[in-house]
Amino acid sequence: MPTFETIKFELTDGLAVISFNRPELLNALNSQLKAEFLKALRMLNQPHSAARALLITGEGRGFCAGADLAEGATDAVDMGASLTDTYHPFLTELANLNIPVVSAVNGVAAGAGMSIAISADIVLASRSAIFLQAFVNIGLVPDAGSTFILPRLIGLNRARAMMMLGEKVTADKALEWGMVYDVVDDDKLMETAKAMAQKLANGPTVALNGIRTLMAQSLKNDYQQQLAAEAVVQRGAGRTADCIEGVTAFIQKRPANFKGI
């Protein structure tokens, strides 16, 4: 297991937990953190990884404040290149994971930090969490996938306003808008998020990955294309040992014991 400094990485009972670990700067993304995050995600994407779910959170009072502005992020000659070279690799690795991803948003999620938070399959927020499309406040456009994901979650109207006004949105409002799945009291966040992620880690991994695939395709397909995609993915899920186990457990009136195969 490599040694990480700017993230914490654990893998127990099929559940991988990545915590951004620069709490004094609200887990702002410097070069080292981006590289370590990418490395951890690549480990999870290895064919024989034991991970069956991923939980992402932040140490301290923030989830992630986006690009580390003190690292010279804004002095970059070409910020487009900064995105393609240092952000897109980890975002792509995250999107390509074949296990479900939960984010536990424990505090402020700003700029690219918000993009990471909302790219999870299930976003859980603490009551004091804050969501901020901070980019416009420093003269930038939203990036790291925000312009793709946010309008799909909350609609163009609210997404545009968040992006243009650069105002903080509370967890309760994010819930009302459909940006997050649920909001829980601060002291219950990690317990709730870990239980949820562990449930996914104990689940039928092939089917869960199939849901990820189908949800991604749903964003671009028409109805007939999506019906066809469901048939393809279902063919794979229907051939798993977990499907046999799920049906057998139902008939035998006992909980299913999924193995992820």
Annotate each residue in 123-142 with x if it binds ligand LHQ (CB under 6 A) or - if it does not, as one string: ---------x-xx-xx-x--
For ligand LHQ, the closer of residues 10 and 85 by Cβ is 85
For ligand LHQ, which stretch binds (CB under 6 A), given 32-40, 107-115, 215-223, 252-260? 107-115
Distance CA 187, CA 192 (A): 10
Told to check if 112 binds ligand LHQ by CB under 6 A, we report yes
Told to check if 79 binds ligand LHQ by CB under 6 A, we report yes
Residues 6-45 interacting with ligand LHQ (rule: CB under 6 A): 25-26, 28
Active-site option among 68, 75, 78, 143: 143
Q: Is 88 a catalytic residue?
A: yes
Min separation Cβ 25 and ligand LHQ, Å: 4
Would you tell me which residues interact with ligand LHQ (CB under 6 A)?
Answer: 25-26, 28, 65-70, 73-74, 76, 79, 82-83, 87, 108, 110-112, 132, 134-135, 137-138, 140, 143-144
Q: Which residues are catalytic?
A: 88, 143
